[in-house]
Amino acid sequence: RRARGALHAVRALASAPRASAVPRARTGAPLGTAVDQARLGAALARLASAPVERLLNRPEAPAAQALAERGIPPRTIEGFLRPLLAALLYDPELTTSSRCADLALHAFAGGRLCLPEGGADALPELLARSLPPGTVHTGVRVTSIATTAVTTAEHGEIRCRAVLLATDARTAGELLPGLRVPGFHPVTVLHHTMDEAPDTGASLLLDADRSGPVAHTAVISLVDPSRAPAGRALVTSTVLGTPPPDVDTAVRMHLARLYGTSTARWETLAVHHTPEAVPAMTAPHDLRRPVRLLAGLYVCGDHRDTSTVQGALHSARRATTAILTDLGAAGSLNRSEPLRTAA
């Protein structure tokens, strides 16, 4: 079974589903009867319009358990919600907190998920471009931090008035011993290019049957053509958990079944395996971990809120607000005296 959820995309808003839209199945009837599908559409619509505070007040349990207890038909869970949540949370076993799962579904149903045009680097580059020249230095490795100084591998010590540590959770724990380091979900992403895009449109294919290593896959060049080599199509696929030994071969075989076409002539552009890709958000999950450790020392990143770009940005806003308050500059940012950030 292949359940087809729509991939929300900046470049493909036309394909973004409304909360009331019922996800379509490509083959068979993985989403159950018409009544099941109507119920699912109504449930997604309710989720999309529910205030976040109400979602956060729901009882918290592992997402898989919460799903089973909500009166949703098992075929709807197995055929659509489980693979969708696994894709959104990078968590195939759905051990994630049900509150985080609700937030992910809320964002999905509200049609606010997107892909940055040009790739994941585009967002930080856009943010950096809006700052005065010279504010951000990249390629500098921080080896230790204190409230008044950052020591770097390349440029020695840099004095400062406050430090905001914005690294991944593992490095944050090394630079700030005692900081909690969460568990992680491994993720492997594979990019294949071909002459012609498989005939699926700009949809995200979810493998509801777990019949191979691929959790989800999409013809990304139909969403964002700038990611593909000139004149070629690009399929991007994700493997969750520990990948099989010959991951590319196993993925090609699986993709052939999912797209219903031979993948023998597809070219493998890249295979990226990230063992500590996404911080786990097991229940109970604290969505607002402290970002102010003491006056002059702050930490932000996805490990302080939710394991998403949005979570990382939200924690950064909390941290910068705390810094400005401590420096007596709340409400105004002195652009001539930038704060040092370790990231």
* Residue of 96, 97, 203, 307 interacting with ligand FAD (CB under 6 A): 307
Nearest Cα residue to 263 out of 271, 251, 273: 251
Nearest Cα residue to 31 out of 93, 90, 84, 77: 77
How much is the CA Rg of the chain, to the nearest whole Å? 22
Nearer of residues 1 and 216 to ligand FAD, judged by Cβ: 216
Span 97-136, contacts to ligand FAD by CB under 6 A: none
308 binds ligand FAD (CB under 6 A): yes
Supply φ then ψ for residue 86, to 5 degrees.
Answer: -60, -40
* Residue of 168, 218, 221, 255 interacting with ligand FAD (CB under 6 A): 168
Residues 6+ apart with CB under 8 A from 34: none
Nearest distance, CB of residue 128 and ligand FAD, angstroms: 11
283 binds ligand FAD (CB under 6 A): no
287 binds ligand FAD (CB under 6 A): no
CA gap 324, 337 in Å, rounded? 12
291 binds ligand FAD (CB under 6 A): no
- Look at the chain and count its residues: 343
CA gap 292, 302 in Å, rounded? 15
Contact 158, 150 (CB under 8 A): yes
> Binding string to ligand FAD for residues 170 to 189, with x set by CB under 6 A, is what?
-x---------------x-x
Nearest distance, CB of residue 33 and ligand FAD, angstroms: 32
Stretch that binds ligand FAD, among 5-13, 68-76, 164-172, 327-335 (CB under 6 A): 164-172
167 binds ligand FAD (CB under 6 A): yes
CA gap 188, 140 in Å, rounded? 27
Nearest Cα residue to 201 out of 219, 215, 216, 217: 219
Q: How far is CA 38 from the centre of its chain?
A: 28
* Residue of 309, 329, 330, 333 interacting with ligand FAD (CB under 6 A): 309
CA gap 313, 168 in Å, rounded? 13
Nearer of residues 73 and 248 to ligand FAD, judged by Cβ: 248
β-pairing, 297-299 with 163-165?
A: parallel
Nearest distance, CB of residue 342 and ligand FAD, angstroms: 5
274 binds ligand FAD (CB under 6 A): yes
142 binds ligand FAD (CB under 6 A): yes
Residues 6+ apart with CB under 8 A from 157: 149, 150, 151
Nearest distance, CB of residue 61 and ligand FAD, angstroms: 23
Nearest distance, CB of residue 242 and ligand FAD, angstroms: 15
239 binds ligand FAD (CB under 6 A): no
CA gap 133, 114 in Å, rounded? 28
CA gap 301, 306 in Å, rounded? 9
299 binds ligand FAD (CB under 6 A): no
CA gap 312, 167 in Å, rounded? 10
> Binding string to ligand FAD for residues 243 to 272, with x set by CB under 6 A, is what?
------------------------------
- Residue 138, SS3? coil
* Residue of 85, 312, 319, 322 interacting with ligand FAD (CB under 6 A): 312
Nearer of residues 116 and 244 to ligand FAD, judged by Cβ: 116
Q: In the complex, which residues of this chain contact ligand FAD (CB under 6 A)?
A: 141-142, 166-168, 171, 187, 189, 274, 277-278, 301-302, 307-310, 312, 342-343
